[in-house]
Amino acid sequence: MESSGSVTMVSKPVRTVGLILSVLPALLLLFSGCMKLVKAQQVVEGMTHLGWPERLAMPLGIVEIACTILYLLPGTAVLGAILLTGYMGGAIATHVRIGEPFITQAALGVALWLGLYLRDPRLRALLPLRRRS
């Protein structure tokens, strides 16, 4: 890693892994949001199963897509990650409430932040995992 001022540059392999860890969960979230927008039968059944009214599918889909787009844009990626963390927290709470596993939602949240950490030198400077000597 090279240093440019106070921000450490990210090596190409690390950045590539970060991009992969960012894009894969983002694609899942975009797909999920689109499915909510078109109110696919699986979404309607899922909303009922989770105890949510079907009428909330479209607003949830819009929020999911908007937050994911913010996450994918470099200038707003941290804001998008924060908003998606809240969104995933709501999904986790919903699954906990009905006694279902929530590992997928938690893993998506971890992958989003890990991908952003690996690809964004500003976040790495803000949250160093090791102290410089």
Query: Could you tell me the residue ranges of all domains in the chain?
Result: 26-120
> Distance between the two ends of the chain, CA-based, in angstroms?
16
Average pLDDT for 11-19 = 91
50-101: pLDDT as tens digits = 999 999 999 999 999 999 999 999 999 999 999 999 999 999 999 999 999 9
Q: How high is the pLDDT of residue 8?
A: 65
Type of residue numbered 120: D
Q: How confident is the model at residue 103 (pLDDT cuts 50, 70, 90)?
A: very high
> What pLDDT was estimated at residue 131?
64
Question: According to the model, what pLDDT value does residue 46 have?
Answer: 95
